[in-house]
Amino acid sequence: MASNVTDFTQDFAILNQRVNDEPLTYLDNAATAQKPQQVIDALTHFYQHDNANVHRGVHTLAERATEQYEAARAKVQHFINAAEPAEVIFTKGATDGLNLVAGTYGEAHVQAGDEIVISIMEHHSNLIPWQQLALKKHATLKYIGLTADGELDLADAAQKITDKTKIVALTHASNVLGTITPLKQVAKLAHQHGAVIVGDGAQAAPHVKVDVQDLDVDFYAFSGHKMMGPTGIGALYGKRALLDATDPYQYGGEMIDFVNLYDSTWTELPWKFEAGTQNIAGAIGLGAAVDYLEAIGMDQVAAHEQHLVDYLLPKMLDLDYLEVYGPHNPAKHTGVIAFNIKGIHPHDVATALDMDGVAVRAGHHCAQPLMKKLHQVATARASFYLYNTQADADRLLNAIQEAKEFFSHGSVEAK
Ligand code: PMP
């Protein structure tokens, strides 16, 4: 299946190009994924045929747009196995969803002396909202640590989560270490202490089957653009009882029931949290991305990426000049592989790799506290998706070898 790239070449025209005279090897999927033609077509079709505002008009185009927008919500609902569409709120992305929870539920429930628990591997999007809430409320922010091989330390989680904990916020998959966290176990711990759990699914939802009911998370946020959907759209899952009891995030059109001179009432879920004109085309594009992934099957997507990691990770670990972060056991490692060539700045490495057509990211990956913990300022990061192949892994290995030689000897064959 997915290990045969010819299945995908026709869907991803962007991948069929040369960069710096080399075939493009796109390994920056943790930053954003490429979009299949089906998603691009869904956007174009909407704008060419059905564009209108939703929920406002009775004319045919408004009805069509509304129908497609709500159909996209139902697709997302099924994708994460939420109990009902009303539990899926369209957002701008994971960052927006996490800020929504901190700014509404968090704002209402965290008081002075309470505790918020996150982990040291959080992306800034799932760190700063809680840090700032804790500062504002005079609450305590606690960090769950890591095991020696870079996994979430469950024993530490059991220590840090107490009866004072009001919120536990945890990434479902690290954007640096390539680990899947035991979100379900941590949710159980949180609930035993009367806390709610917020999952950051930005790096998990695109790559593994997510079942929010099985995980028993209270909130779960993710971004469309990392799962082949458009930018500027994402979804926040929340349990109905919690969302119902939570005040709106923003005020404006489309989220009200009645507006009086001096007070107002809110409409029902999920629209209570969708003030103003939403990213209608984006939601429909996200629905098309869900269709695309579902047609392949999330188990297949995960299996394909695992196959690539099984192939690549041991080869990277064999290179003594390379430092590879996160678990060394491929079975515990997702398709996000952060690494450094010892003694060479990751920005130089990424620039050298780009000369070979290999696109990777270099930087702190919006995880500065984790970088500090790893005693690194930055790393390079290769991240895979279902259209990547073993040949891409080989090109990465070759490019790393060439970069190492270039920076060691100060020269490389002119191209
Ligand atoms: N959480 C994690 C783990 C991420 O990797 C990212 C994106 N790099 C985000 C949150 C934020 O996603 P977005 O920028 O799409 O809101």
Last-in-domain residue among 234, 262, 295: 295
Residue nearest to atom 4 of ligand 1 (CA): 202
The DSSP code sequence of 203-270 is: TTTTTS---HHHHT-SEEEEESGGGTS-TT-EEEEE-HHHHHTS--SS-STTSEEEE-SS-EEE--TT
Which residue has 């060419």 as its token pair? 48
Residues with C-beta less than 6 Å from any ligand 1 atom: 30, 93-95, 123, 125-126, 171, 175, 200, 202-203, 223, 366
- For residues 232 and 371, membership in a common domain is answered with no
Q: Is 333 a catalytic residue?
A: no
Summarize pLDDT for 303-332 with one digit per residue, the tens. Answer: 999 999 999 999 999 999 999 999 999 999
Range of the domain at 396: 6-31+297-409
Closest CA to 237 of 172, 193, 179: 172
Q: What's the pLDDT at 267?
A: 94
Mutation test of ligand 1: which of 223, 279, 379 has the most ligand atoms closer than 8 Å to its C-beta? Answer: 223
Q: What's the pLDDT at 8?
A: 85
Q: How far is the CA of 50 from the centre of ligand 1 (A)?
A: 31
Summarize pLDDT for 221-280 with one digit per residue, the tens. Answer: 999 999 999 999 999 999 999 999 999 999 999 899 999 999 999 999 999 999 999 999
**How much is the average pLDDT of 167-196?**
98
pTM (2 d.p.):
0.96
ipTM for the predicted complex comes to 0.99
Residue 415 domain-assigned?
Answer: no
pLDDT band at 6 (very low <50, low <70, confident <90, very high): very low
Instruction: Please pick, among 366, 396, 399, 403, the residue that the annotation labels catalytic.
Output: 366
Q: How far is the CA of 120 from the centre of ligand 1 (A)?
A: 15
Last-in-domain residue among 260, 295, 330: 295
Q: Taking 60 as the threshold, does the pLDDT of residue 382 lie above it?
A: yes
Number of H helices, E strands in the chain: 15, 17
Last-in-domain residue among 269, 295, 321: 295
Number of domains composing the chain: 2
pLDDT band at 414 (very low <50, low <70, confident <90, very high): very low
Q: Taking 50 as the threshold, does the pLDDT of residue 193 lie above it?
A: yes
Q: What's the pLDDT at 57?
A: 77
- For residues 139 and 281, membership in a common domain is answered with yes
Q: What's the pLDDT at 7?
A: 67
Asked whether the beta carbons of 118 and 169 are under 8 A apart, the reply is yes
- For residues 270 and 301, membership in a common domain is answered with no
- CATH no. for residue 333? 3.90.1150.10
Q: For ligand 1, what atom is nearest to the CA of residue 226? A: 15
Residue 214 domain-assigned?
Answer: yes
Q: How far is the CA of 94 from the centre of ligand 1 (A)?
A: 6
- For residues 149 and 161, membership in a common domain is answered with yes
- For residues 222 and 323, membership in a common domain is answered with no
